[in-house]
Amino acid sequence: MPVQILFICLGNICRSPTAEGIMNTLLEQQGLSEQIRCDSAGTSAYHNGEAPDARMSEHALKRGYKLGGRSRRFRALVDFEAFDYIITMDDANYSNVLAMDSKNQYFSKIFKMTDFCRHHVMSEVPDPYFGGNEGFEVVINLLEDACRGLLEKVLNEHGIANPQTD
């Protein structure tokens, strides 16, 4: 059974689908798509059913990342059980997800995306929704760094051989 990773932001149209797209690209490049699967969700239903933000998609595509899927809301009853890693983009969403874990059963699965950054020192992935072009680029930079760090953690914790380095 593949390792399951879920990326979480507020509306699931900017940061979390971008993290999913970057991670899926890394997995494809390294021949790991069958061993590790990704999805994304939001803690709100503001954008339920919408495609990723067009501006975010444009910036991601310039770097070779295709964003797909439709926004969905985090489903605590299903997602806590289904996913091995639940990765939030900021403090507010981290707190929201923790609050949904009323019995504190899934704490060990919940992380902040910036926990995996190796080169950037930031406590959150900022929401680029109301910012300009630079905000989208900052988000992609952070997510590229964090996705590489997260992938390294997943490979080590699950004893998955990386075909690119073996």
Tell whether 62 is covered by a domain: yes
Tell whether 93 is covered by a domain: yes
Range of the domain at 30: 3-158
Q: Give me the CATH number covering residue 20.
A: 3.40.50.2300
Convert the pLDDT of each residue in 98-154 to its tens digit. 999 999 999 999 999 999 999 999 999 999 988 788 999 999 999 999 999 999 999
Query: Which ranges of the chain would DSSP assign to H, the alpha helix?
Result: 15-29, 54-62, 76-82, 91-100, 133-158
Catalytic residue status for 117: no
Please tell me which residue in 39, 53, 79, 127 is annotated as part of the active site. Answer: 127
Tell whether 164 is covered by a domain: no
Tell whether 165 is covered by a domain: no
The secondary structure of residue 51, as a DSSP letter, is P
Backbone angles phi, psi at 85, to 5 degrees: -135, 130
Please tell me which residue in 15, 39, 53, 147 is annotated as part of the active site. Answer: 15
Residues 37/4, Cβ–Cβ less than 8 Å: yes
What's the total number of domains in the chain?
1
Task: Indicate whether 158 pLDDT > 60.
Answer: yes
Catalytic residue status for 38: no
Convert the pLDDT of each residue in 26-85 to its tens digit. 999 999 999 999 999 999 988 888 999 999 999 999 999 999 999 999 999 999 999 999
Please tell me which residue in 9, 14, 38, 147 is annotated as part of the active site. Answer: 9
pTM for the full predicted model: 0.95
The secondary structure of residue 10, as a DSSP letter, is S
Tell whether 163 is covered by a domain: no
Tell whether 28 is covered by a domain: yes
